Amino acid sequence: MLIPFFYMLREGGMKTSIIELLTLHEAMHHGLAGQSVDDFYFLARATLVKDEAHLDRFDRIFGAYFKGIDDSLSDLVQEIPQEWLQRQAELSLTEEERELIRSMGGFEELMKALQKRLDDQDERHEGGNKWIGTAGTSPFGAYGYNPEGVRMGQRGSRNRSAVKVWDKREYRNLDASVELGTRNIKVALRRLRKFAREGAADQLDLDDTIDKTARNAGMLDIRMVPERHNAIKVLLCLDIGGSMDDHVRVCEELFSAARSEFKHLEYFYFHNFIYENMWKDNRRRQTEKTSIFDITHKYASDYKLIFVGDATMSPYEIAYAGGSVEHWNEEPGAVWIKRLLKAYPKAIWINPEPKSRWHYTPSVKFVSELMQQRMFPLTITGLDEGIKALR
Amino acid sequence: MASHRFTGTSSYIATDDLTMAVNAAVTLERPILIKGEPGTGKTQLAIEVAAALGKPLYEWHIKSTTKAQQGLYDYDAVARLRDSQLGDDKVHDISNYIMHGKVWEAFESEEQPVLLIDEIDKADIEFPNDLLRELDRMEFYVYETRELICARHRPIIIITSNNEKELPDAFLRRCFFHYIKFPDEATMAKIVDVHFPNLKKDLLGAALKAFYKIRDVRGLKKKPSTSELLDWIKLLLAEDIPPEALHGENIRNAIPPLYGALLKNEQDVHLFEQLVFLDRRNNPQ
């Protein structure tokens, strides 16, 4: 019975392997999951999931599979917006209302109806008795009463009649595509380090020399190793102010992670888009500017160029001379970014706006084209892809 | 089937899912990888499992410079070189210069041991790959003496990680995995109860409420964790603070005493004090 489940996990995008499936069977053979479905769920989770980022996904697939719903995989992609499920109100129902709910039909009917309503519904809903939301008598949603209801991820349990552990989705915020803290960013940035430990063997390896000399019965045997240093050089250009204010926290995190991760890190600020100057200190942005030409002359082309910005502005600010919101620029921003990209072939643009919102803003598309599509969202997966593009 | 089942101990509260993961690892004699927020008792778990099952514990703490080889054995070439110049007789037997590592010690244990590999993510990115065969087959080869060391009893291996590096897939496939999520209020009450059994009920309730409110404050860089809560309660007890001092409708109306034990980051303390100050100014009592 587990084989379809296994394939469902793989279809759902989890990298579960045969070894893990066999381990699960072995564990069941030892009677570890004998007592209840909950036990089986815990066992399967410990065996098949190896990354907390996948716990939420696993919970959803497990829930879907063990309720006999095979066609809900598409829901995994189309997430239920969290606000729908947020707790808004408490509700106590009268006995008659409860009676009414009981008459609504069997469990399978409910699941089919859920499928249908998910397709129909496209806005948050509260109360009422049909749509998914909170505190209503619909069988789907949270904080309501329906003895056969399906709970959809909220904190705490109210009536307890519909709760299943995997439906609580307690690992909700650990999915890899949500925004990150410094530690996670550091981990992502560390991938840039891998190829940084190269170079000529120019240092004496004392341990190895002693080791080889001793093995050589005392005849000196010199061993050399390449120097272990992180040779990656990074030029970080951060958009500051204006629409970036919403993203200050996450950019701060990215910046502090990058600073501790790279020895050769140079950073500059810009506002909205790149023109002839950038600056290092925001308080003295009017007086102490660095010309783009000075930057390209000072830092060699082996620097990796990373822009961080939401690329949200009027397209004029990119395409036209004089488009800057701060000063009169003789040449359009697009020309300046092209100069930078020519000087630094390895370049990416990291955008803190969620990718799903990019297509609402024409300038994002424009910048992305200028960057030859090397624009990535500021999430773990986005950084990962970005780092790959930098190599 | 294992002779014992781990169900938590008198000083460690294990949730059902954690118990299941540990028992699966014990039964199938495979390593278990434990992840979770700092301060949720990952390292403590190994100590408690060893105590609960009555098995000896070997602890291998990993640092950024630790090599996989060091867990198996070290060959002290320098000592041998010195001995050879001094004409010491020991020099003819290479095994005199082989220092056993923690893994070797665990493999040689008379009864089934518990082996803790603590903070595996601190080491180099290749570290877990270098231990694949050792963890899988529970054996390794000593090149210097040409002997194969096999585990007498497959140890219960508990590995902890703080997620600073991603672990290789091949390694993960061989492990059970458990993510210790932050305990909810009921579990937390149990945890505090096993550490401070004589705590008055009302003080505990008030302390937990204050603790979860602080955790809910937005924008904290480091949220207080279980170990900080336990320290804080210890302080509250030492200072004999009455439960009433912890009450307050809103966290912003009342600074809990000794909150320095909960907030370790200067900026967090500052943020917290500002919130309290703002709120007092807006709602004078």
User: Is the predicted pLDDT of residue A95 greater than 60, yes or no?
Assistant: no
In Å, what is the CA distance from A219 to each residue of B20, B24, B76, B95?
57, 53, 17, 21
Sort out which chain B residues have CB atoms less than 8 A from A32's CB and list them.
Answer: 20, 23-24, 27
Cβ contact A32–B27 (<8 Å): yes
Kind and range of the H or E run holding A64:
helix A55-65
Measured between beta carbons, which residues in chain B are less than 8 angstroms from residue A183? 162-164
Tokens 């099952």 sit at which residue? B53
In sequence order, what are the beta bridge partners of B152?
none
Q: How many Å separate Cα B158 from the centre of its chain?
A: 9
Coil vs helix vs strand at B1: coil
B35 interaction partners in chain A (CB closer than 8 Å):
52
- Determine which of A82-91, A143-152, A228-237 has the lowest per-residue pLDDT on average: A82-91
Regarding predicted confidence, which is higher, A6 or A252?
A6
A37 at B interface, C-beta within 8 A: no
Pairs of CB atoms within 8 A across A/B = 92
CATH class of the region A233-390:
alpha beta
Cβ–Cβ under 8 Å, residues A314 and A323: yes
Q: Does A218 touch chain B (CB under 8 A)?
A: yes
A46 with B176: Cβ contact below 8 A: yes
Q: Please state, in angstroms and rounded to a whole number, the distance separating the CA atoms of residues A38 and A35.
A: 8
Question: CB neighbours (10 Å) of residue B197?
Answer: 8
Q: Where does residue B46 fall: left (phi above 0), alpha (psi -120 to 50 degrees), or beta otherwise? A: alpha
Task: For chain A, say whether B32 makes contact (Cβ under 8 Å).
Answer: yes
Please give the model's pTM, rounded to 2 decimal places: 0.56
Residues B100, A301: Cα–Cα separation, whole Å: 49
Contact A26 B28 (CB under 8 A): yes
CA proximity to B33, closest of B129, B146, B155, B167: B167
Q: What is the pLDDT of residue B34?
A: 92
The pLDDT score that the predictor gives to residue A239 is 83
Using an 8 Å Cβ cutoff, are A59 and A14 in contact?
no
**CA dihedral of residues A261, A262, A268, A270 (deg, nearest 10):** -50
Q: Is B186 on the interface with A (CB under 8 A)?
A: no
Say if the Cβ atoms of A187 and B16 lie within 8 Å. no
Tokens of B87: 């004409």
Whether residues B28 and A30 touch (CB distance < 8 A) is answered with yes
For A288-347, the pLDDT digits (tens) are 788 888 888 888 888 889 888 888 888 888 888 887 877 788 888 889 989 999 989 889
pLDDT of residue A228: 63
**CA neighbor of A337 nearest in space, from A383, A275, A263, A272:** A275
Which tokens in the block code for residue B106? 């665990």
> B164: which chain A residues are within 8 Å (Cβ-Cβ)?
183, 186-187
DSSP string, A207-242: HHHHHHHHHTTT-----EEE------EEEEEEE-SG
Provide, as residue numbers in chain A, all residues whose Cβ is less than 8 Å from the Cβ of B21.
42-43, 45-46
Give the Cα separation of A65 and A57 in Å (integer). 12
From CA A353, how far away is CA A299, in angstroms rounded? 29
Average pLDDT over residues A84-104: 43
- The SS3 assignment for A349 reads strand
Nearest to A188 by CA among B35, B165, B160, B64: B165
Give domain B16-180's CATH architecture. Answer: 3-Layer(aba) Sandwich (3.40)
**Count of CA atoms in the C-beta half-sphere (13 A) of A25:** 11
* Phi (first) and psi of residue B57, to 5 degrees: -115, 130
Least confident piece of the model among A221-235, A349-363, B59-73, B132-146? A221-235
* Closest to A363 in 3D by CA, of A324, A323, A311, A319: A311
Tell me, yes or no, if B164 comes closer than 8 A to chain A by beta carbon. yes
Complex ipTM? 0.73
If phi > 0 it is left, if psi is from -120 to 50 it is alpha, else beta; for residue B38 that is beta
User: What is the end-to-end Cα distance of chain A in Å, rounded?
Assistant: 44
Query: DSSP letter at B165?
Result: S
Measured between CA atoms, how close is A293 to chain B, in angstroms?
38
Block mean pLDDT (10 aa), chain B, length 285 = 64 84 88 86 88 91 86 86 80 87 91 92 82 86 88 91 78 88 83 80 80 78 82 80 65 63 76 74 62
The whole-number pLDDT of residue A166 equals 57
Closest-CA distance, A264 to chain B, in angstroms, reads 21
Q: How far is CA B284 from CA A144, B253, B277, B280, in A?
A: 38, 10, 10, 5
Is the CB of residue A175 less than 8 Å away from at least one CB of chain B? no
Q: Please, which residues 201-230 of chain B have a Cβ atom closer than 8 Å to chain A?
A: 219
Q: How confident is the model at residue A165 (pLDDT cuts 50, 70, 90)?
A: low
- Pairing of β B114-118 and β B57-61: parallel
Subunit contact A30:B125, Cβ cutoff 8 A = no
Average model confidence (pLDDT) for chain A? Answer: 69
Please check whether residue B242 is in contact with residue B282, taking contact to mean a CB–CB distance below 8 angstroms: no
CB pair distance less than 8 Å for A55 and B33:
no
Cα–Cα–Cα angle for B41, B38, B229, rounded to 5 degrees: 70
Task: Identify residue B38 by its one-letter amino acid code.
Answer: P
What's the Cα-to-Cα distance from B193 to each of B14, B185, B201, B258, rounded to whole Å?
A: 13, 12, 9, 20
The domain limits of chain A are 51-174, 233-390
CB contact under 8 A, B176 and A47: yes
Chain A touched by B73 (CB under 8 Å): no
Q: Where are the domains of chain B?
A: 16-180, 185-282
Of A175, A192, A180, residue with least CA distance to A379: A180
Please report residues of A whose CB lies closer than 8 A to that of B125.
Answer: 190, 194
Task: Kindly indicate the confidence band of residue A130, based on its pLDDT and cuts at 50, 70 and 90.
Answer: very low
**Which is higher by pLDDT, A281 or B49?**
B49
